[in-house]
Amino acid sequence: MIAIEVRNARKTFKAGKRTVVAVDDVSLSVPEGGVMGIVGESGCGKSTLARLVLGLLPADSGDIAIDGQRLADLDRKARARLIQPVFQDPFASLNPLARVRDIVAMPLVAQGRFGKADITKTVQEMLARVGLGKEMGGRLPSELSGGQRQRVAIARALVLRPRIVVCDEPTSALDVSVQAQILNLLAELRRDLGLTYLFISHNLAVVEHVASEVAVMYLGRLVEREPTETLFAAPEHPYTKALLASVLTPEPGLGVPDVGLGDTLPDPANIPPGCRFHPRCPIAEPRCATTTPPLKPRPNGGVECLLA
Amino acid sequence: MTALLEIEKLEVTFGRTAAVRGASLAVAPGETHCLVGESGCGKSVTALSVMNLLVRNARRRAERLAFQGEDLLKLSDSGMARLRGNAMAMIFQEPMTSLNPAYTVGSQMTEVLRRHKRASQRAATDRAADLLARVGITAPGMRLGQFPHQLSGGLRQRVMIAMALMCDPQLLIADEPTTALDVTVQAQILRLLAGLQRDLGLGLLLITHDLGIVARVATRVSVMYAGEVVESAPTAELFANPRHPYTQGLLRCVPVPGKIRRDQPLGAIPGTVPRVGPDFEGCAFRERCDFADETCKHAIPRHHASTAHDFLCRLPA
Per-residue model confidence as pLDDT tens digits over A242-258 = 999 999 989 998 999 98
pLDDT tens digit sequence for B157-184: 889 999 999 999 999 999 998 887 888 8
Whether residue B317 has pLDDT greater than 60: no
Nearest CA in chain B to A232: B257
Check A183 against B270: CB less than 8 A apart.
no
A234 in a structural domain:
yes
Q: What's the gap in Å between the CA of B280 and the closest CA on chain A?
A: 21
Nearest CA in chain A to B192: A256
Please list every residue in chain B whose beta carbon sits closer than 8 Å to the beta carbon of residue A187.
263, 265
CA distance B71 to A186: 51
Domain count, chain A: 1
Q: Where in chain B is the domain with CATH 3.40.50.300?
A: 5-87+170-312
Of B4, B173, B190, the closest CA to residue B98 belongs to: B173
Please list every residue in chain A whose beta carbon sits closer than 8 Å to the beta carbon of residue B216.
248, 251-252, 254-256
Region B296-304 average pLDDT: 92
A108 in a structural domain:
yes
Region A72-101 average pLDDT: 92
- Percent of chain B having pLDDT more than 70? 99
Q: What's the gap in Å between the CA of A200 and the closest CA on chain B?
A: 14
Range name among B113-117, B260-264, B299-303 with the lowest pLDDT average: B260-264
CA distance A308 to A306: 6
A167 in a structural domain:
yes
Kindly state the DSSP code that residue B61 receives in the 8-state scheme. Answer: E
ipTM above 0.95, yes or no: no
Q: What's the gap in Å between the CA of B258 and the closest CA on chain A?
A: 8
**Does residue A199 contact residue A211 with C-beta atoms inside 8 Å?**
yes
pLDDT at B63: 97
- Which helix (H) or strand (E) covers residue B106, if one does? helix B105-117
Please list every residue in chain B whose beta carbon sits closer than 8 Å to the beta carbon of residue A243.
183-184
Whether residue B29 has pLDDT greater than 70: yes
**Does residue A127 contact residue A155 with C-beta atoms inside 8 Å?**
yes
Check A249 against B257: CB less than 8 A apart.
yes
- The two beta strands, B88-91 and B171-175, are parallel
Please list every residue in chain B whose beta carbon sits closer than 8 Å to the beta carbon of residue A39.
none
- The two beta strands, A196-200 and A35-39, are parallel
User: Span B5-87+170-312: which CATH code?
Assistant: 3.40.50.300
pLDDT at B289: 93
| Structural domain span for residue A298 | 2-303
Check B216 against A179: CB less than 8 A apart.
no
Q: What is the CATH number of the domain that holds A263?
A: 3.40.50.300
Please list every residue in chain B whose beta carbon sits closer than 8 Å to the beta carbon of residue A42.
153, 182
Whether residue B274 has pLDDT greater than 90: no
Q: Reduced to 3 states, what is the DSSP secondary structure of residue B231?
A: strand
